[in-house]
Amino acid sequence: MMRALIITLLSFSTLAFAAAKDDVSKPLKTVVNSVRFGKDLLALKHFAGEEQGKQLLGDDWAKGTDGQRKEFVKLFHVIFAKVAFPKFRTQFENLDTILYDEPVVKGDTAEMASTILINHPLKKQELKVKYQLVKAGAAWQVVDVSVLGDSMIKGIREDQIVPIMKEGGWDNLLKLMREKAKELESVPLK
């Protein structure tokens, strides 16, 4: 009787871990496939814009108005997609497979690592990628991606956002983002 109970509990815990891995990896798989096949707008739906804004702007996030924060998220996603997605698409042309590790879930946040195998005719490549996600309702959304230890959000924050905010705060940041978005108008988002 006790043995049957233990086997049943182990089966349920294995199913729970598999479900957690599937739940957390689902938006990652959707983002990769959407970017890979030119469905940029679908990929963007799986990014946690508000959480990204909080991390990108730090204490300055709370100093912005609702309108400024909303515009920031919209502009950030448009600029990010138009600059980064074409580069990712080129990398993904020779994508072989992605192996996902078990997620580390803590409440409404999760971290997951993966190994991306690129099978280029001239050189096989293996990329170690880590993802930070946040729970949004019943689904997970991507906040940050780190490749070889370099955080996308941290890099953008330190190299671009912090200096711009020091120069002129929210007004300057949004002005420059609008200009960059206008400059990228010819790059399509599908």
* DSSP notation for 15-60: HHHHHHHHHHHHHHHHHHHHHHTT-HHHHHTTB-HHHHHHHHHGGG
Q: How far is CA 9 from the centre of its chain?
A: 34
Residues contacting residue 107 through CB under 8 Å, at least 6 positions apart: 135
Model confidence pLDDT, tens digit, residues 143-186: 999 988 899 999 999 999 999 999 999 999 999 999 999 999 99
- pLDDT over 70 at 9, yes or no: no
Model confidence pLDDT, tens digit, residues 67-110: 999 999 999 999 999 999 998 888 888 889 999 999 999 999 99
Say which CATH architecture domain 2-183 belongs to: Roll (3.10)
**CA dihedral for 163, 187, 151, 138, sign (positive or negative):** positive
Q: Which two tokens stand for residue 168?
A: 């002129």
Q: Could you tell me if residue 126 is left (phi over 0), alpha (psi between -120 and 50 degrees) or otherwise beta?
A: beta
Domain ranges of the chain: 2-183
Query: Which pLDDT score, from 0 to 100, does residue 125 have?
Result: 87
- pLDDT over 80 at 5, yes or no: no
